[in-house]
Amino acid sequence: MRQSKGTLLTAAIALAMVTGIGAGSAKAYFTTFATARGGHEITVGPETQITEEFSNWTKHVSLKNTGDVECYVRVRAFAGNAFGLEYTGSEKWYSGGDGYWYYDEIVPAGGETEILDVKIELPQVTDELGNKVPYTEDFNVVVIQECTAVLYREDGTAYADWNGKLESGSDRYEWKEETE
Amino acid sequence: MNRKRKKGISVPSGTILLFGAAVGLLLFSAVGSTRAALTYYSETYSAQIDVQSIGVTLLENNQVISYRDYTHADDEWYEASGKLLQLPEEEKWQIGRTYDAELKVRNSGVIDEYVRVKLYKYWVDKEGKRLPYLSPALIDLHLLTDGGWILDENATTAHVREGDGRDGERIVLYYDRVLTAVDENGSYDETSLFADSITIDSSVATKVTEYKSADGSKITTVYDYDGASFVLEAEVDAVQTHNAENAIRSAWGVDVEIGQDGSLRLK
């Protein structure tokens, strides 16, 4: 009888240990996952180069996109007060009413605009003989050119933001010494 | 003395046998536990004990992008990982333009499941190295949280709404209801959209850094985002609905509350 009790006790302890240890490890859950990624390179910072040819008191101006990204361009010419400037040439150039002439098409990377003619109207001066003649001595007519990145509205319509200001010197960006 | 020694060693053979059996069972049990513990997170182990099949699929604009489904019949995982935000060949991504990115999740398995989505957005250079100083907030992924998706505010570090000061990479969303298994007609259950579009903010064209020469006579302006690539990553996780609270805590490490109707709520 005493042996039987001991046997039962041993068996009970063994059973408890076996079930107790096994209880904590029998958990495994069905799980799965799926992943994906995607993205694209962004190119900003257009670069253009101006070409001027001069004949018949006219500057023949064109711009070439020398960067890697499409852009919009505009030009403006400056001369002394006595000199008049008349803009002609390709119809793709139009006056913005702000002194700039704008090209109405996006210039693709490597592309070039059609020619804008800037005719210089020389002032009349009186020569030694009292005749009215055009003034042809030294003077400067300067043409500046600007380009800006092509931006898009939500619907995909392209536009240029000529009034956008570059942002620098924020908390994140500091002036850095050029290493070269 | 002899009688006493004899009494000490006269343990009944039945008891010894039972004790030996107990030790044997105990050892066997421990080995089993160790195996279970070692393979607790193992997909292979899960597959072996899986008598049903779990699966999940990520869709973009109604196209299957990535999936990972277990098929019990073949005892294999079928999986594929595709590319998001694909453009037609030769087409370049346009700054400021809004592109469709209708993202949702499908239950492609044969058991019900809960799902969550982790999204990461960031910038990399041409070698794929992360550029942590460029702003993920300018990668404007338009989230939709009114169709059952819950934004985990604690786990989310990214800018997700106007006026949000955060500018980290991560967004975590939980779907608040059960995604049911494919039905007998082969019809899949899908979540509502958790995002519908993506736009690269036009201000990337205005962010510059100015470099000054040593003598201060020359300033060079460099566009910060020029040549950088934006990246959107998505990870969809699915877990069984049986014993869901424990399963989710174990698999995802978060505490949730499951309602009587199966609705999920973050604690």
0.95 exceeded by pTM: no
CB pairs under 8 A between A and B: 240
Buried b (16+ CB within 10 A) or exposed e, A78-93: ebeeebeeebebeeeb
Verify whether the Cβ–Cβ distance B65 to A32 is below 8 Å: no
Q: What is the mean pLDDT of chain B?
A: 86
CB contacts of B140 in chain A (<8 Å) are none
Give the closest-approach CA distance of B185 to chain A in angstroms.
23
Q: For the segment B232-249, what is each residue's pLDDT rounded down to a tens digit?
A: 999 999 999 999 999 999
pLDDT of residue B39: 41
Of B50, B66, B213, the CB nearest to A34: B66
Q: In the block, which residue shows the tokens 């809004």?
A: B98
Q: Check pLDDT > 90 for residue B169.
A: yes
Q: For the segment B16-60, what is each residue's pLDDT rounded down to a tens digit?
A: 787 787 776 666 555 544 444 444 444 544 444 445 789 999 999
Q: Check pLDDT > 50 for residue A111.
A: yes
ipTM: 0.78
pLDDT of residue A175: 39
Verify whether the Cβ–Cβ distance B22 to A18 is below 8 Å: yes
Q: What element of type H or E holds B122?
A: strand B113-124
CA gap A134, A84 in Å, rounded: 12
- What average pLDDT score do residues B111-139 get? 96
Verify whether the Cβ–Cβ distance A31 to B45 is below 8 Å: no
Residue to substitute from B34, B226, B243, interface A, most A β-carbons within 10 A: B226
Q: What is the mean pLDDT of chain A?
A: 82
- What average pLDDT score do residues B69-84 get? 88
Of B68, B97, B212, the CB nearest to A154: B97
Of A18, A36, A154, the CB nearest to B58: A36
Burial class (CB in 10 A: 0-12, 13-18, 19+), B151: middle
- A174 pLDDT tier (thresholds 50, 70, 90): very low
Higher-scoring residue by pLDDT: A69, A177: A69
Which residues between 168 and 207 in chain B have a beta carbon less than 8 angstroms from any beta carbon of chain A? Answer: 199-200, 202-207
Verify whether the Cβ–Cβ distance A177 to B212 is below 8 Å: yes
Structural Rg of chain B based on CA atoms: 28
Q: For the segment A129-167, what is each residue's pLDDT rounded down to a tens digit?
A: 888 888 777 778 899 999 998 999 999 999 999 988 888
CB contacts of B208 in chain A (<8 Å) are 166-168, 173
Q: How many helices (H) and strands (E) does chain B have?
A: 4, 14
